[in-house]
Structure 1
Amino acid sequence: MPDLSAFPITKRWPPKHSDRLQLYSLPTPNGVKVSIMLEEIGLPYEAHLVDFGKNDQQTPEFLSLNPNGKIPAILDPDGPGGRPLGLFESGAILDYLAGKTGKFIPPHSARRIETIQWVHFQIGGVGPMFGQVGFFNKFAGKEYADKRPLQRYVSESKRLLGVIDRRLDGRQWIMGDGYTIADISMLGWVRNLIGFYEARELVEFDNLKHVPVWLDRCLARPAVQRGLVIPSRPQP
């Protein structure tokens, strides 16, 4: 069995099966990227809840793996060269798991790079902008008297949705006929924007031609349905 004792995070979240990939996460739009990917590729793994209510993400054990104090993070006992590897940042984890298994990323160099390009599009634009809409529309920001920040982020989110909609014209998935990490990276954010963030009407989601159909197609996948609730949220 691999020895993971050199990783302090295992003291707070002891693995039951140290030969399995360890996931430290919460089912947020960033967190579910990795749980969905793990469900899709079928690698054995253990999911550990990082409870924001207990500030788990700022504990010394978690920070030892991700000094940025954000979920998700993984610990792969069978990393490069057969040595354990700790990794954080959802996009980097998707890229790593796709490369490790050869799944959900095209094998050819140009198409592979194009896929990673769309993952970076999500990381640099979709996630930050949609998250700001959530803050200003649903959370503390909704109390701000000045509505210009909300309007700014709504406008930018509409623009980004338009980019995705045009990309999906004539395509089932972001990269064409094949479902990839580009789709996995985006689906949780689009789902949250119109659901949890209550911004469906604000961003005129139902006026889009292709994104709603694509989202339904994503959410119909059994692995997506499982990954969206892994790890289970703490009970109130």
Structure 2
Amino acid sequence: MPGFLTLEGKRALITGGTQGAGAATLALFRDLGAEVLTTARSRPADMAEAMFVAADLTTLQGCETVAEAVRERLGGVDIIVHMLGGSAAPGGGFAALGEAEWQAELNLNLLPAVRLDRALLPGMVEQGSGVVIHVTSIQRLLPLPEATTGYAAAKAALSVYSKSLSKEVSPKGVRVLRVAPGWIETEASVRLAERLAQEAGTDLEGGKRLIMESLGGIPIGRPTKPAEIANLIAFLASDRAATITGTEYVIDGGTVPTA
């Protein structure tokens, strides 16, 4: 069908594809015909071994393991989606972030993308085509000093790295883009809303409102669904976005208050 969105025949690596928006992206890519490989520390019971490689991407060795699996199982890669990210840093502002906390933020939110790109991009350049999508965050624009300074700084570094990479490899046929989500309604975020609701003596919707208020409000009145993140990523990865590179797409329900 003319204009139909497809990823048929594409080989894709999606990091962090076992839960949340990563799992939604993996499912959509498969539905659209891509051959997909994903990775995490352990394989979910309902995920086929053929599409999974166990690795700790916060380490150099883990990234090397995944890159080798991509070459062996897929014979190369056409699309890389760097979904991996998150934070376990304590609240308390900058003073709560010691050397270990800062290193952990970089090891999770920046260095896996840098290391995997370094290993796999030469193959894309050699074949003259490919798409790399770095999932950043609106936190790079709206950091919360009490809790997300390290995470926001790491995502900001990822965004700048991605832009620089796009300038280098786009002339060689490899598109590089960024997707910046706001609050995504994952299982983890629902648990957070439930906890906040209990502490505040309200219901789940009240807990969600507390999160939205902490972000300065979400004009559409709700968080983004994982499937909505997946839809944007799939479009950008497809040939329908063939002239899009070097840009960042914010998907946050209007949370960022400036253009």
Settle same-fold status: TM greater than 0.5.
no
TM-score by length of 1: 0.33
Structure whose residues are more often strand by fraction: 2
Structure whose residues are more often helix by fraction: 1
TM-score by length of 2: 0.31
Structure number with higher relative contact order (C-alpha < 8 Å, ≥ 6 residues apart):
1
